[in-house]
Structure 1
Amino acid sequence: MPHTPPMRRPLLLALSLLALTACNNAPSQSAPLAPRPALVVTAGDIAQPGPAYIAEVRAVSRAELAFAVSGRVARLHADVGNAVRAGQLLAELDTTPLRAQLQAASSDETAARVRWQEVRQRHSRIHAAQLGQAISAGEMDAVKAELAAAAAALDAASAQRSQAEWALAQASLRAPVDGVIGSRQLAVGQSAGPGANVFTVEGSGRELSLWLPANIQLAAGQRLTLQHERQLYSGKVLRVAPTLGAGGQHQVFISAPAEAQPGDTWQVMVGRNPGHGISIPLRAVLPGHTGQPSHVLRLADDGNTVEKVAVMTGNVQDDRIQIVSGLKAGDAVVVAGAAAITPGTRVKPVLLRDGGSHE
């Protein structure tokens, strides 16, 4: 057995300790890596919009205005699209005939008042004479009847004068609420009849008015898809008219987006028809190499491991794409960062909801 010199023993001991320390500090090859978070989305069935109907945007607070008297339009002070305040003057009729009627009624009232005052004075004299037994009872009865008739004539004349004043005031049409002029059906020089709608003032709030066949039933709170100028919106049924209108149709009122303006027409998709295939966000699809199909990373059955799946794509609508084959409804696919994840990697799924929020 070879003999180790005493001077080399400390050196060998130091080298042995260094080797042992290095082994303890080396990373363990068997320690599992923590799963990385991955944003995933659930593939959903495609549903095609149902039949579309035309709805008109109207104000929740809405006033249809008409003159209460007939006459010729003399002046207009507002037009369609103008913002108006409550009490603002919108239109005026020619007041010449109405002023003449008021003058005549005032004259009749003045004459009736003079007549009543004369009879009342004579009644007072006859009454005083009756107390002195200077006249007969028949004369007193006659003057009483005359006074009653004069009073009735004065009341009638006063009523005619009040009516003429009211008619003159009605020749000015004013806005009852703050709002926007939605429609106007008269022009200067045109004759306006009492009760005929000549202005519409659209007040606060907006809603869609929709007429539907009686066989299409909607309920308050039901969600509907709206379309205007190629943009899609969501609406909700506010109320359904309890009675049917012309042609057996019923009126439905739907919430209107902020973009809706009175008088505009919007499309309302009622119901949805089954489509073909499913859809996922467009960014979840990874393009294949030359000659290779597109693919996605799908969560395997264990819910944590990603696997590469070839897919056949179809139409693109907004930020979603149709998947013709390769996936089924309910499959969870990685929607962000899929290009940086290797198939077979274990991930911690973070579910994306409603296309915008995740938890």
Structure 2
Amino acid sequence: MTMIAARALALLTASALVLSACGGKDDKKAAPASTARAVSVGQIETRALGGGIEASGLLVARDEAVVGSELSGYRVARIYADEGDWVRAGQPLVQLDTTLLGAQIGQQAAVAAQAQAEAARVSGLDGQGVLSQEQIESRRYNAKAQAAALAELQTRQGRLTIVAPVGGRVIERGVKPGEIAGSGTTAWFRIVRDGLVELEADVNESDLAGLSVGQPATVTLPGGQQVSGAIRLVSPRVNADTRLGKVRIRLPVREDLRAGGFGKVTFGAGGAAVTAVPETAIRYDAEGLSVVTVDAQNRAHQAPVRTGRRGGGWVELVQGPAAGTRVIIGSAAFAGDGDLVKPQPVKAAN
């Protein structure tokens, strides 16, 4: 081999080594980015705990008025309201037939007028001997009795019109045209006052201590609709057989809230705000409890923690990272300390 050929071969070999070295460095730099694991990331927050309790129950009227007739023997002439109608207090619901009572009032009015006239003719005759005192008092008493009988019939006439005792929504109508008042025991109308329907939930005795009046709650209807409400009443009594207590959830007036329907309730958080982390971010191993945080460069770091109360999918951090720190959710066990990750933000449980 000539000297020139040997030098050319040496230069080519050196160039290949340089290019190979450069390519190796680029590959080394690119490798971490290409192998970074995608992880779900949430945040440590300052929030109230105490929620997460679930129960079920029935939708009930907060106050229900039952309407019927105080009179018997009168035919239903007209009906002015039906199920689903909204009525105001004092609004006519049913009109009973006035024909029979009108005739009785006319007859009684004539009798009362005659009795009053007879009483008037003996006025001033006391002690004069024209009539005995007993006859005079009898006429006066009869006039008063007939006037009272007329007043009673007139009062009854006023009650031939059945009116709503409260304003609200009619949820049941049990009266029919032509029906005779007093012939049955079924309520003529049931009215939910102001249309207010609540959920009466059965809650385990052990969970009642974590609930308080005013605490938010979310009611889920069978169709999937969700309604926001708040606790109005926590019963002071627990059923001795079922160990359940009643909790009433105040709800807004809505057309899809029907008394007698079924609902599930999830109670929101209550109490003082604490530093908390999503429950799925807690890592359990031989060294104790920890979370895996994610720094600004998307590097994972294991941080030991001490936990406190739990509720609604969250855990109180008695000791650990500060609020606002990003933490890996769910897949924390697969991220090692110092690993490069690809954060995928997720919405944690409310």
Taking structure 2 as the reference length, the TM-score comes to 0.55
Deviations 1:245-284 (A, max 9, x none): 9x99976432113435353624144789xxxx9458xxxx
- Please say if 1:188 is aligned against 2:177: yes
Q: Measure the CA separation in 2 of the matches of 1:80 and 1:329.
A: 59
| Unaligned runs of at least 5 residues, structure 2 | 1-40, 269-277, 282-290, 302-311, 315-319, 329-338, 342-346
C-alpha displacement of 1:171: 1.0
- Residue in 2 that maps onto 1:200: 190
Give the alignment of 1:23-38 within 5 angstroms: none
RMSD (CA atoms) = 4.9
- Please say if 1:92 is aligned against 2:106: no
Does 142-151 or 213-222 show the bigger shift? Answer: 213-222
Counterpart selection for 1:221 from 214, 221, 224: 214
- Residue in 2 that maps onto 1:111: 114
Give 1:204's aligned amino acid: D
Counterpart selection for 2:104 from 101, 105, 112: 101
- Residue in 1 that maps onto 2:59: 55
Q: Measure the CA separation in 2 of the matches of 1:278 and 1:66.
A: 56
Give 1:150's aligned amino acid: R
Q: What SS is found at the alignment partner of 1:80?
A: coil
- Please say if 1:307 is aligned against 2:299: yes
Once the two structures are aligned, what percentage of the paired residues are identical? 20
- Please say if 1:253 is aligned against 2:255: no
Q: What SS is found at the alignment partner of 2:169?
A: strand
Give 2:299's aligned amino acid: E
C-alpha displacement of 1:78: 1.3
Q: What SS is found at the alignment partner of 1:67?
A: coil
C-alpha displacement of 1:94: 1.8
Distance change in 2, residues 1:85/1:235 (3 Å): closer
Counterpart selection for 2:232 from 238, 241, 247: 238
Q: Is the 8 A contact 1:209 1:251 kept in 2?
A: no
Q: Is the 8 A contact 2:197 2:253 kept in 1?
A: no
Q: Is the 8 A contact 1:299 1:305 kept in 2?
A: no
Q: Measure the CA separation in 2 of the matches of 1:104 and 1:197.
A: 33
Structure index of larger Rg: 1
Give the alignment of 1:333-348 within 5 angstroms: 333=326
Q: What SS is found at the alignment partner of 1:201?
A: strand
- Residue in 1 that maps onto 2:153: 164
Q: Measure the CA separation in 1 of the matches of 2:133 and 2:121.
A: 13
Q: Measure the CA separation in 2 of the matches of 1:244 and 1:148.
A: 65
Give 1:63's aligned amino acid: A
Deviations 1:265-314 (A, max 9, x none): 24144789xxxx9458xxxxxxxxxxxxxxxx9634xx7664359xxxxx
- Residue in 1 that maps onto 2:261: 265
Q: Measure the CA separation in 2 of the matches of 1:105 and 1:242.
A: 56
Q: Measure the CA separation in 2 of the matches of 1:329 and 1:67.
A: 70
Q: How many residues align?
A: 252
- Residue in 2 that maps onto 1:175: 164
Q: Measure the CA separation in 2 of the matches of 1:147 and 1:250.
A: 70
C-alpha displacement of 1:59: 5.4
